[in-house]
Amino acid sequence: MEEFIDVPLMNYSVGMSARLGFAIATDVAPDLLLVDEVYSVGDAAFEKNCEARMEEFKKKGVTILLVSHNLDLIRTTCARTLFLHHGRIIAIGPTDDVVAEYRRFTAMSPPG
């Protein structure tokens, strides 16, 4: 991104904005890190870098609140998971249990 440092932010792509936002947000030593669907806008290299950075935070004991629909990402990142539907708690607990409940719920729910 260094080559784009003088480009106005409004001209950044969604992916470039996400990279910049993630870099800024993770350049500190937080107690709590809130990550909302950041992986969904990047390429494979960005995703790999994000995962490595998240692992560093986990090793340091940082609490990570990850908002995502990516079940594989949730399963590899989270020990405990909260499943919300229209602001209502459907399930909370060990990730594998909550992912299984999410799959049951979405299989029963009508589209839309």
Task: Give pLDDT tens digits for 49-93.
Answer: 778 888 888 898 989 898 988 898 899 889 999 999 999 999 999
13-55: pLDDT as tens digits? 777 777 777 777 777 788 888 888 766 666 777 778 778 888 8
Task: Please report which confidence band the pLDDT of residue 103 belongs to, taking 50, 70 and 90 as the band edges.
Answer: very high
Other Cβ atoms less than 10 A from the Cβ of 6: the count is 5
Average pLDDT over residues 102-108: 91
What long-range pairs does 51-56 form, CB within 8 A, spacing at least 24?
A: 51/76, 51/77, 53/22, 53/26
pLDDT at 33: 83
pLDDT, tens digit, for every residue of 81-100? 999 999 999 999 999 999 99
pLDDT at residue 101 in the model: 96
So what's the pLDDT on residue 40?
A: 62
How far is it, in rounded angstroms, from Cα 17 to Cα 13? Answer: 6
Contact 12, 42 (CB under 8 A): no
Tell me, what's the pLDDT at 5?
Answer: 66
Question: Left, alpha or beta for 86 (phi > 0: left; psi -120 to 50: alpha)?
Answer: left
